[in-house]
Structure 1
């Protein structure tokens, strides 16, 4: 039944669904995991770099995190080729606003412009939706630090912490349990690594991009964590996770023993 309604992006199914948009979302769900967390003193983002072959040279392969303007950055999940088009649109919109008004574009306004461009590709025949999701992180004088998630339909929403890509449901569950609004950037970095440790099969410093955006002395500082720093942080997170797992196993064993023991 669905095959009758998925050949054209402008045709709704009887249930009111656009199947082409849903197919784009499925492509994203198979992409590398990405996570964004809002801290009191900045924004932290991390993403999995999926390498198709070990012959690829890491510094020259596709990036996961992109700088859009001095106060905005984004992490990508999905088709990199589609993302490049939208990233160029975002950078152009940011510079046009800066030239016209003499101040950086508000973060939400930039996100809205990108999402309007994405939504246009769900309205006209002969086109397909962009198969990419974005996590936008930024800071402006209106709302301070902000984190937005956008999908192929052109919809976007603000988040305190969220996850996208493979095993995003497991990541969201962990964020719900452990995220706190009073967390600092350092604490959010550890939480982001814990999320990726849970959602990725093999987490190493080689297949991970870690990024933070902070306001320092009135200037926005974009920090891409060095390989050695990421490796040290991963070692700490894995050690803490193993200790927590051992404690949970010991508690479970103690509970089981107490329930099976009967009084004489």
Structure 2
């Protein structure tokens, strides 16, 4: 039945579905997992790296985490070439707002603006939806720390904890069970690593298969985005009992 309705983005099936959007969501379901957790003193993002190689320069290249502005970052699941276009669009919008109003762009306004762009690609013929989902983490003076999730349809929602990518349903149910209000940033990191270790396709969890980033306020009150180094990440995995310490030679 779908064959008659999936050739065009603009054609609804009799059930009111847009199959092209659903196909884009399927692409995301096969991508590496990403988890975002909102805490009282920051936002934690953890992602599963699908591309692992000793030849990769991990200190300069990231697969899952991207900084959009000084106060906003995102985790990605889906087709990375699509994500790069949208991330560049978001960066330009944030800089235009800062240039015009001399202050950082509110997080939700930035997310909504980007989702308007994504939604446009679901309603015009000759285009296809972006096959990528985002977890946006940020801080602004209006609402403090915020976590948003968006999908290819252009929908976005605010979350306390959310998961995208492969096995996101299992991760979401674990987060629902273990998340508690007023969680600290350290507890959020522990919860994110625990959930990812149980839902990832990989049998063993190591620092080269993960990326961890945090958005928080520095002691001076400035918003800071920080990506965890592989060495620190290894120590955290051992500290929280996710992996066993390597025996010294």
TM-score scaled to structure 2, two decimals?
0.93
CA distance in 2, matches of 1:207, 1:112: 31
Aligned partner of residue 112 in structure 1, secondary structure:
helix
CA distance in 1, matches of 2:233, 2:152: 31
**Coordinate RMSD, CA, aligned:** 1.5
Quick one: structure 1 residues 62 and 183, their matched pair in 2 at CA, closer, same or farther if it must change by over 3 Å?
closer
Which residue in 1 is equivalent to 2:89?
89
Quick one: structure 1 residues 14 and 43, their matched pair in 2 at CA, closer, same or farther if it must change by over 3 Å?
same
1:221 and 2:221 correspond: no
Cα contact 2:205–2:243 (8 A) shared by 1: no
Q: Which has the higher helix share?
A: 1
Alignment map for 1:166-245 (pairs within 5 Å): 166-200=166-200, 201=202, 202-216=204-218, 217-238=220-241
Cα contact 2:33–2:164 (8 A) shared by 1: yes
CA distance in 1, matches of 2:64, 2:89: 17
1:132 and 2:137 correspond: no
Cα contact 1:62–1:80 (8 A) shared by 2: no
Deviations 1:155-195 (A, max 9, x none): 00000001111111111111111111111100100001001
Which residue in 2 is equivalent to 1:158?
158
Deviation larger for 41-50 or 59-68? 59-68
- Count of residue pairs the alignment pairs up: 240
Which residue in 2 is equivalent to 1:255?
none
Which residue in 2 is equivalent to 1:261?
none
TM-score scaled to structure 1, two decimals?
0.88
Aligned partner of residue 234 in structure 1, secondary structure:
helix
Cα contact 1:28–1:133 (8 A) shared by 2: yes
1:54 and 2:57 correspond: no
- CA shift at 1:96, angstroms? 0.3
- CA shift at 1:151, angstroms? 0.1
Aligned partner of residue 50 in structure 1, secondary structure:
coil
CA distance in 1, matches of 2:33, 2:242: 22
Aligned partner of residue 240 in structure 2, secondary structure:
helix
- CA shift at 1:62, angstroms? 4.9
